[in-house]
Chains A and B, each alone.
Chain A
């Protein structure tokens, strides 16, 4: 029991302040490491503050001091009981060539589901267009896709004017930001146990399948590949990766076959989700630049062979990057 509250607080306050100084330092500088003496002191101050708090808990007239002490003890508790790794300094090169592709491979099953959802949509979209060509007025989101593909190709190939001259950068920025928003939304929909994510992927697949079949049936396959492959070979995988991230989140929520608690499952995947979405955003920046500055130019200005070749090369490099990059590090870690 505290007989003299004033004396108690006067005696203890320097210890609380010292603990707070430690906490401020640790929170401001995540790389800062305490030596053994400091650690012992920090632990002692934490225990002392905790003990003071339990004494003050029964004290009616000190809500302010109690709340202050609760906050200090709470922060110290977080520091002492934290077992997760503290964030390192940003090593962008290492992250890009190791962490990102490794994370992708670690959740390859989620990518498989993501791909399957989009593929089913693609096949359905193509089937609908082949059975009922008029349905494109409902399916296609943009008016320029609702016209006759051959007419569009003839128009764009005969035009000697640069259609997007004067707003290429703005167009590119719009594509990047729009696609990144869609990707974030696809990831976020993972919180609906993956149903929303799967629907987004399926819907995008339907659109893609409908457009593709429309151009193929009109005999414009070469134009289609030359138009879509340069940016699509990065953009579509990026959407699939965003879907993969959403499904990782869904997997953690559902927790099939995992014996750890929901909170632990969510903790386990949190850094993977961030890695995936940053990777997706980078891919979409590249796709946005290519779409605005390269994909919109057709023959005779840019031969389709070059555009298709460029798109295929990107796809091969992306597959190699996601499939192989950072594998040596993992092998070394396993061996070591």
Chain B
């Protein structure tokens, strides 16, 4: 019914690096504050510093993943989220377990064990995720394509056939639509011959997906054909936004 994109070990490592840096900054700032306590008791200042570092280093992930529903600062920045493996609600116990098992995942250093297991795991899980029944998903930011640059002011003969346009939208998959769009956006980067060849291939493909009447396609180049296809696929989206 719905699918979610799994986060890979590299993205997760980057998110962890941000979190690690945050923990270091926060504890060093707090230790500077506690140093003032040293005026009263050096012993007490050290003791509070030790406990604070421990609590923050262990509790940071647990607290934020619970408070932000599966996200820490690093995960937020990299658009990652911890989720229950079966898309059920993330339980507090799952968050605690996946964070405590970092002790093994981080062995022998820099999350080597966790990273390797994440690479070979079907659902990109480290040991902590496996034990807690969690996954980490990536929600990529979908940038609005600059359609004005390629579509504005151009007459599209396909618009006269809304029912065929609708069929086209239904039959073309999102990756196929992206290929057509990217071909248009990057057309000026191509050598002239390669450009002609590419648009010929792309147009041929779309001609097989749905067939527009001859009067709609007569006299238009392959590139224009692809342009019309992209207009038909993306037009309603631009009108909306």
Interface residues of A (CB under 8 A from B): 1-6, 9-10, 27, 50, 53-54, 58-64, 66-67, 70-71, 73-74, 77-79, 81-82, 84, 86-87, 166-170, 172-174, 176-177, 180-181, 184-185, 187-189, 191-192, 196, 249, 253, 263, 266-267, 270-271, 273-274, 277
Contacts and interface: CB of A to CB of B under 8 A. Distances in A.
Interface of B: 1-4, 41-44, 46-48, 50-51, 53-54, 58, 69, 83-89, 91-94, 96-97, 100-104, 127, 130-133, 139, 142, 144, 162-163, 166-167, 169-174, 176-178, 233-234, 236-237, 239-240
A266 B131 contact: yes
7 contacts: A10-B240, A61-B234, A84-B89, A166-B43, A177-B50, A177-B54, A187-B100
A197 to B, nearest CB: 10
Nearest to A165: B43
The residue in B83, B170, B236 that gathers the most chain A C-beta atoms within 10 A of its C-beta is B236
B85 A263 contact: yes
Contacts of A70: 2-4
Given A63-B142, A172-B47, A249-B131, A78 B89 contact: yes
Given A82-B89, A188-B103, 10 more contacts: A6-B240, A60-B176, A61-B174, A61-B237, A74-B87, A170-B47, A173-B47, A177-B50, A263-B85, A270-B132
A191 B127 contact: yes
Contact of B236 (A6, A87, A173): A6
Contacts of A27: 69
Contacts of B139: 67, 71
B51 to A, nearest CB: 5
Contacts of B240: 6, 9-10
Nearest to B69: A27
B69 to A, nearest CB: 6
A60 B233 contact: yes
A94 to B, nearest CB: 16
Contacts of B85: 263
Give the interface SS of chain B, mostly helix, strand, loop or mixed: helix
A177 B51 contact: yes
B88 A81 contact: yes
5 closest cross-chain pairs (CB), A and B: A169-B47, A170-B46, A60-B177, A5-B236, A177-B54
B97 to A, nearest CB: 6
B174 A63 contact: yes
B103 A184 contact: yes
Contact of A87 (B83, B92, B163): B92
A63 B163 CA distance: 21
A191 B104 contact: yes
Contacts of B172: 60
A174 B240 CA distance: 60
Contact of B162 (A3, A73, A180): A3
B50 A3 contact: no
Given A87-B91, A176-B51, A3 B163 contact: yes
A53 B133 contact: no
Given A3-B162, A5-B169, A53-B2, A184 B94 contact: no
Given A59-B169, A73-B2, A263 B236 contact: no
A274 B96 CA distance: 7
Contact of A60 (B41, B42, B131, B169): B169
Nearest to A253: B131
Nearest to B141: A64
Contacts of A176: 51, 54
A84 B90 CA distance: 11
B99 to A, nearest CB: 10
A170 B142 contact: no
Contact of A53 (B1, B43, B96, B178): B1
B43 A167 contact: yes
Contact of B100 (A6, A66, A277): A277
Contact of A169 (B46, B132, B142, B167): B46
A166 B142 contact: no
Contact of A274 (B97, B142, B234): B97
